[in-house]
């Protein structure tokens, strides 16, 4: 597990290996946005940056990411 702090002041727990081939499950504070992304991220820091920005635009927070790798 890796924990990464976002620029919004909260931390996100990341499980598994993040690479450009992984499918990543996303858990948000507002469960309506939970789901999967197949976006090509090279590492957890890149994934957290992009997905926490999405969460912020939707008015929620990203809680956890988990890779299928």
Distance between first and last Cα of the chain: 13
pLDDT value at position 41? 94
Q: Which H or E run includes 63?
A: strand 62-67
> Which residues in the chain come in under a pLDDT of 50?
none
**Angstrom distances, CA of residue 26 to CA of 33, 41:** 8, 13
Tell me the per-residue pLDDT of 31-46, one tens digit each, with 9 for 90 and over: 999 999 978 899 999 9
- pTM assigned to the model: 0.93
pLDDT value at position 39? 83
User: How far apart, in whole angstroms, are the C-alpha atoms of residue 45 and residue 35?
Assistant: 19
């Amino acid at each position: 597990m890796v924990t990464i702090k976002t620029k919004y002041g909260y931390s996100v727990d990341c499980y598994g290996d993040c690479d450009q081939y992984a499918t990543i499950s996303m858990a948000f504070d507002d469960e309506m946005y939970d789901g999967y992304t197949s976006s090509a991220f090279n590492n957890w820091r890149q994934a957290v940056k992009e997905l926490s920005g999405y969460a912020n635009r939707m008015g929620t927070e990203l809680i956890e990411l988990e890779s299928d790798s």
